[in-house]
Structure 1
């Protein structure tokens, strides 16, 4: 799980985000689901570029989890891969031939790289800023 830097938002937008998360939690869950879906797309694209071997349904099993509030009070959404061998591709595995360990295949760190790419792209800040503008325009804030 990674935190996104919201330094692209103005001070007013940060204050509005805090107020919105407290006063309109349903709206906050909605935007986090949208952000999670966008992040899932970026992570899946990164996986397709980094993992060339077609191994089962790995590329089809990227999913956005539920949006929830973590113990710190922040709204969070997870991007996961539900393929049974996804953790092996992500973290690496021992290479065993004939019952003897012959090496180690390093992990590709697809999730970390994909989330980092999404965080650095500025899409998160733009989505939050547009959402806050929409809430102000609609009179919900």
Structure 2
């Protein structure tokens, strides 16, 4: 009795093709994320100008990070490494040297405002990116 075999060569070719396609998509996705991160960085720095400038350290500390994996998807962040950035962002108490509270400075919410304003542009860019990727 002859055994019936199953030829897996075509399945292996399909698997290699899918792997190559996935690698190409990954590179395009990282490039897209870097571009969008740069756009958000520009918008955030523009928003930070309304805070004012004393020394410029806050404005210089706003940077774009690298693409990274977060909760099984890719992401990129815009952040500030200045030690006082959270005080500008969220607000802070004004305290004298003897510990007496004399007021509260409201936060400017620079990153939050920039992200909210950037969201519609990101959605349209994402639609264009996905449409262009699917066409290939």
TM-score, with length taken from structure 2: 0.72
Q: Deviations over 1:60-91 (max 9, x none)?
A: 221111111212x2221111011121111011
**Greater RCO, 1 or 2 (C-alpha within 8 Å, sep 6+):** 1
Aligned residue for 2:31? Answer: 30
Aligned residue for 2:127? Answer: 129
Q: Deviations over 1:74-111 (max 9, x none)?
A: 22111101112111101111211232221221211111
Aligned residue for 1:41? Answer: 42
- Following superposition, the deviation at residue 48 of structure 1 comes to 0.7
**3-state DSSP of counterpart to 1:84:** coil
Work out whether 1:52 is the aligned partner of 2:52: yes
- Following superposition, the deviation at residue 127 of structure 1 comes to 2.2
CA–CA distance in structure 2, aligned partners of residues 96 and 53 of structure 1:
22
Aligned residue for 1:106? Answer: 106
Paired residues, number? 115
Aligned-residue CA RMSD in angstroms?
2.3
Aligned residue for 1:92? Answer: 91
Q: Which moved more, 1:55-64 or 1:128-137?
A: 128-137
Which is greater in Rg? 2
Show structure 2 runs of 5+ residues with no match: 1-20
